[in-house]
Structure 1
């Protein structure tokens, strides 16, 4: 029998691992998955922020655990993968969200900063996805991987922004998503990407200060920046059975910025 919309979006009995899940967009996505019934495992580098986020979610009736890990380090990712499967039994939804940015003109960009951004934003996504596929998802013939890209990966920057490594890494995430979806589709694993526009956060603070929040909002056809609930609907669609025939895709959540010609 065809399922109802409520049944398709229901994640009861499922588990979700969210990197960079202690604040910002990661916490917003974790909250969406938890509200739909998933058990959560949050990952970040700072225990105090993780504990606060988990307590916030528990206060809303969401089951949430946490693990400290640096998603740029292979040893941490392997430890994270093993401990996640030990605690949860399996991971149904993996959200690769942990990320870094660096602002500097391309001709002056430090190679160490380039490597830092690439290691976290691209290599870390691959290593954790690979671990979960090998040790969990392929054997179960199911799983949803959601990669956080950015509209910065769709083209160049507005004048005054200097984030060459970040843009490059997010462009790589988009093709990583497509390639992985094509390869792992036969295993029942779906891989998709979300491209947020400008959301106020710790990572975007410098950009907002440099370009002006009002200016950035005015550039969007909807006339505003993203807020604390704008990623929730898409996250749930891509994670749940409601999106079971969607893989290898990306969608911008940017108020229409990427639709503007020359934008």
Structure 2
């Protein structure tokens, strides 16, 4: 980022990539709101980050929750200039194994959440004269993934949302890009046995887990004015997963 006037909202900011992104944006000089349904977790991160960060409770599946968050942010800090739609869940299960309720919940958080977030910030970003929206998809949104049909499909949806929104919002100088992390050492993989993670990463061109800071660096770049000619694009940070 190149100036200290940006106001950013990062979802899923209580841990993992969201937390690392909030840290990166605060370090770059932005005022950052850490949105998470886990408000206490977000408060702990915000306290550690100091006056440049503030926690805000946010249920990304609720339009009303988004409206309340954006209203509070604009009242306190002025127009939003950066939105990072990072909140998401991983739901394991192939076509025959996963149920309708699990599939729907995955889409509500991963895809509907990004859709509602973009809609909620458009007017504020117009008032700011433009902005940057970064939607966190996944390498699973670029390739098919066995035994993760709901997760993969929802992340493909985020990819499509980002491309279409980039076209819709370009006249207002609002940029929209998607970031596609690979296998990253975050709480989303907490339930995976270490042996399974080692097997998954062994086949990568860069055979290791990614770390949240590597993803956050890409997001911070796309949020900055250095990326002013970048919109409607997909940025992989996956150790070569999608091309292996």
TM-score, scaled relative to structure 2 = 0.95
Q: State the shift of 1:14 in Å.
A: 1.1
Q: Give RMSD over aligned pairs.
A: 1.5
In 1, distance between residues paired with 2:62 and 2:104?
12
Q: Does 1:122 align with 2:94?
A: no
Tell me the residue number matched to 2:39: 47
Secondary structure at 1:147 match in 2: strand
Q: TM-score by structure 1 length? A: 0.88
In structure 2, the partner of 1:259 is 243
What SS class does the counterpart of residue 65 from structure 1 fall into? strand
Task: Give the C-alpha shift of residue 87 in structure 1.
Answer: 2.1
Aligned 1:185-196 pairs, distance under 5 A: 185-196=170-181
Matching residue of 2:142: 154
Mapped partners of 1:110, 1:156: distance in 2: 19
Q: Which residue of 2 aligns with 1:19?
A: 11
Aligned equivalent of 1:234, options 210, 218, 226: 218
Question: Could you list the per-position Cα deviations for residues 182-205 of structure 1 after superposition, in whole angstroms to 9, with x for gaps in the alignment?
Answer: 111111000001000001222122
Q: What is the CA–CA distance in structure 2 between the aligned matches of 1:117 and 1:88, rounded to whole Å? A: 32
Aligned residue-pair number: 244
Q: Secondary structure at the match of 1:248?
A: coil
Q: How does 1:132-211 map to 2 (within 5 A)?
A: 132-134=121-123, 136-157=124-145, 161-206=146-191, 208-209=192-193
Deviation at 1:210, TM superposition (A): 7.9
Counterpart in 2 of 1:222? 206
Residue ranges of structure 2 left out of the alignment (5+ in a row): none
Unaligned runs of 5+ in 1: 1-8
Structure possessing the higher radius of gyration over alpha carbons: 1
Are the equivalent residues in 2 in contact too, given 1:153–1:167 (CA < 8 A)? yes
**Secondary structure in structure 2 of the residue aligned to 1:108:** coil
For residues 116-163 of structure 1, give each alpha carbon's deviation from its aligned partner in whole angstroms, at most 9, with x where no partner exists: 1111111111112111102x1123331000000000111112xxx522
Q: CA deviation at 1:214?
A: 1.6
Structure 1 moving runs of 4+ over 3 Å:
none
Secondary structure of 1:222 counterpart: coil
- Counterparts of 1:107 and 1:211, CA distance in 2: 25
